[in-house]
Amino acid sequence: MPISSAQPLRCSFLEHETGRRYPLTFSFDQFTQVYRARVNGPLNGPQEELFRQLAGWLIFTPELSSYDPDTYACVLDLHLEEVMLDIVSRDDFYEENDMVSAAIVRGLNRTMIWTYTHEKESPREVAAVQRVVSRVEGVCEAMWRNRQRLPYTWPYRTDNADEEEPVAALCILLMHMCNRTKPLYVPDILLKMLLHVWLAVPYRPNTLDNAFEYQTQVVFSKSANDSDIYIRETIVDGIGADVFILRIIEDLKRENTSDRYFAALLEALRVLGLSQPLLPYFAKYECLDAVASTLQTRCVPGGDQQRAVLYDHALALIHATMVLPTLRVHGTCVVDIFARGIDIVAAGVPPLEHDLRRALRASILGSTEHIASGTRKGVSIPEMKNRAKEMWWPSFTRLQAAHYIAQGNGESKKYAGLLRQWESFGNACGLDTEKERKRHRREGRAFCTWAVCQWSTVKPPDGVTLKACQGCGEAQYCGRECQKSDWGKGGHKERCGKRIKGA
């Protein structure tokens, strides 16, 4: 049951500058009267002061901040989200004090969150969604015109990078609303604003994790020609292709990038980065090399299921690059990505093993054929062969060990096909399993067995001594931490235990 619009609601807020606490008491009738007046233009005198006080009241009123159902029923019956959107659509709104305009955007976001997450099929919420969607284009056009004056709060909250950024949240919420329309209605100006906010906010609010998911969804929904037009207008001629690609690479390297956002970045490189308008920039900044580098720390063998999901996105990207005859691809990163996938499969990812093995086999097969035929001119075959001399044998032995262990429980077939394909890849690179086994032993058992260690593919310096596992005598480690990691995460517990049991 909606509360009465005349009912007074009380709150108080603390002014950080003075330390004073201010009580505020207003009703929705007062709020509606002042805000409807603001729709027609800036206010003066007492009304201007009242408008600013109401912005604070909207944020700090307990019934609104705690999402009281009866209070929000009144809000929607009064169409307050419509009034606030009309204000945000005005150019003079962006001349308001930043803290006031940010408070208004926060209040608008609360109303939209309620509309989006509660009683989706009720007439009240459905009507509110329709009102919001009808104003999306006008709001985004106003925000785009005034993009240098948007009321961001991050400049005032440098001590709290996790603080929700209201402008970013508004763009995401508008996208959520548009996603619920049938047929789908997503104006390009909204996507343009999402990209602008993504670049403008110096840290990564959680609300931006799925911004790229929307970009790729919309590009997928367009024809190839329309997609290229959109990418050219929005990215190349809009925010700038160089800035776009460099920001993706920067965020891929961030340690605190969420898994969802990391996957979205990889998908953006595949769907957007490999498009005709952006392909020159993909090559210019060697995006595939950046992906291969981040996988070494991001997709650790023996990690949780999400590591395999992220790797699958990277594999789809490299598979897509291999069919582009004009794209220059470094052979080293191709081998690095394949070897990391072999290690992930060898360590075991049960829910995803079948799909991941199949995708990995297909990609390795394609590269094997390219090496044999020499048809893929953009990939440096000498680079690939040189890197394979370092990376192929260690990963081959780990997969071979996983295959050996699986023979005892009747699951060896799931590794057999991939093992044969990886062996064929090595053969195409001029490597022979027996010769590589002898070479690695002859070179003094030079590498740490833990796949993630920096010395797993490079001979450690003189000051680092490798010590053999006391159980099997074959695995060797540069330190106790690597041995513990390989035992707990790398599958050595099973391999070592199997050999001891069968001795």
The two structure tokens encoding residue 122: 């009720």
Q: What are phi and psi of 21, to 5 degrees?
A: -105, 130
Judged against a pLDDT cut of 70, whether residue 253 lies above it is answered with yes
Whether the Cβ atoms of residue 287 and residue 275 lie closer than 8 Å to each other: no
d(CA 57, CA 174): 23
How many secondary structure helices (H) and strands (E) does the chain include?
23, 4
Identity of the residue numbered 344: I
Residue 415: predicted pLDDT: 84
3-state secondary structure of 343: helix
Supply the pTM of this predicted model.
0.76
The two structure tokens encoding residue 260: 């969802």
d(CA 6, CA 150): 33
d(CA 22, CA 251): 41
The pLDDT tens digits for 281-298 are 999 999 999 999 888 888
The pLDDT tens digits for 3-38 are 999 999 999 877 666 778 878 999 999 999 999 999
CA-based angle 97:103:109, to the nearest 5?
A: 140
Residue range 413-435: average pLDDT? 90
Identity of the residue numbered 272: L
Residue range 51-71: average pLDDT? 90
d(CA 253, CA 294): 6
Which residues are CB-contacts of 60 (< 8 A; sequence separation ≥ 6)?
A: 11, 12, 13, 24
3-state helix, strand, coil in the chain (%, to 5): 65, 5, 30
442, exposed or middle or buried, with CB in 10 Å at 0-12, 13-18, 19+? exposed
3-state secondary structure of 10: strand
The pLDDT tens digits for 85-105 are 999 999 999 999 888 899 999
d(CA 96, CA 347): 57
More confident residue, 164 or 106: 106
Residue 120: predicted pLDDT: 63
Closest CA to 391 of 478, 332, 307, 461: 332
Domain boundaries, the chain: 1-208, 326-443, 448-503
Alpha carbon of 24 to those of 8, 57, 101, 104, 203: distances in Å? 10, 6, 18, 16, 33
Judged against a pLDDT cut of 50, whether residue 501 lies above it is answered with no
The pLDDT tens digits for 360-382 are 999 999 889 888 887 666 678 88
Q: How confident is the model at residue 405 (pLDDT cuts 50, 70, 90)?
A: confident
Closest CA to 247 of 259, 235, 229: 235
Whether the Cβ atoms of residue 204 and residue 144 lie closer than 8 Å to each other: no
- The answer to which of 52-66, 287-301, 442-456 has the lowest mean pLDDT is 442-456
